[in-house]
Amino acid sequence: MNFQTNELTQQVAQVARDFAVKHIRPHVMEWDETQHFPIETMKAMGELGLMGIFVPEQYGGSGFGYHEYATAIVEIAKVCGSVGLSLAAHNSLCTGHILYCGSEAQKQKYLPKLASGEWIGAWGLTEPNTGSDAGNMKTTAVKDGDDWILNGTKCWITHGISGDVAVVIARTGEPRTSGNATAFIVERETPGFKAGKKENKLGMRASETAEMIFDNCRISDAQRIGEVGDGFRQALKVLDGGRISIAALSLGIAKGAYEAALNYSKERQQFDQPISNFQGISFKLADMATEIAAAELLIAKAADLKNRGEKVTEAGAMAKYYASEIAVKISNDAVQIFGGYGYTKDFPVEKFYRDSKLCTIGEGTSEIQKIVIAREVLK
């Protein structure tokens, strides 16, 4: 693997960094306090090519690879984890599912709108009683002539209210049987498709999380993605790549917290010297820097495998597991370095701390990542 950052990746990093500083940083706490989902900011990222960063140019995307994608998420998340999360969910889940598994007609119809930011995407797998146990989902799709009728509720959905289009995995067979789920594309204005409760969250408050409800929602068979019964296999493929983006999100949060703590430790004086001179602080900073470097390498490895079209299940799970856990640890240590100030909203580290926890839960908990990794190493 080549460890040298290429010019394109550097350019993407600079574009994302400049955008975050100018258009996101001034509003971070306001959006967090009010749980405001900044749709216009998302659309502006589309104008820069960040909403379809790995979508081929023929479908209106930027046509970049996973190194550039991960880099963009890191730079956005260093400023605001919420916007980084929404960027990741839009790209990896909804857009990625259609790109990897959709028909040519579906790609031509939806990818240009998603890649430009004209439309915001959502992706629905999780349900109130089926999180990791997705094979027992209650949302069903029943064939009716040339149509399908969807009934059920999806929860914890990023952009569940504001998403213009959603990829939804519904059960088309008996519970807990092989090949019992199918993926569908559902547009927001489809009768019977409505938004439910918006969640009031600990962190990631500017990234909209809500229910999607289907009540006799009728869609054409043309909205089906792939073969009947192939939905769960598709979802696992999508999540393999999606976990790289959550690893990048975690890394961005960790870097933001670390850089804030590092700068503060040089400025904060105690006993007539910067607190960075004290071993208790300097050792924390040493651990942070090392953990960030290790997470970067795991993400780079997974991104490299993804770019080359190789299997990324183990590498993606490792990157997501490790990066998300160290994001929590580093954010916690950053609050400690700030002391009492770290516990206030006048300084950025309390938000990094709150945002970081979601990374160990979303797109497969840390416990699920261990199961995935164990299965791979024990094969």
pLDDT digits 0-9 by tens, 205-219 = 999 999 999 999 999
pLDDT digits 0-9 by tens, 103-129 = 999 999 999 999 999 999 999 999 998
Mean pLDDT, residues 32-53: 98
Whole-number pLDDT of residue 159:
98
Residue 95 has pLDDT above 90, yes or no: yes
Whole-number pLDDT of residue 176:
83
Which residue from 168, 76, 154 is spatially nearest to 121, judged by alpha carbons?
168
> For the whole model, what pTM was predicted?
0.96
Instruction: Report the catalytic residues.
Output: 363
Residue 5 has pLDDT above 90, yes or no: no
Whole-number pLDDT of residue 1:
66
Q: What is the mean pLDDT of the chain?
A: 96
pLDDT digits 0-9 by tens, 136-190 = 899 999 999 999 999 999 999 999 999 999 999 999 999 888 899 999 999 999 9
Buried b (16+ CB within 10 A) or exposed e, 172-186: bbeeeeeebbbbbbb
Residue 132 has pLDDT above 90, yes or no: no
pLDDT digits 0-9 by tens, 182-233 = 999 999 999 999 999 999 999 999 999 999 999 999 999 999 999 999 999 9
Q: For the chain, what percent of residues have pLDDT higher than 70? A: 99
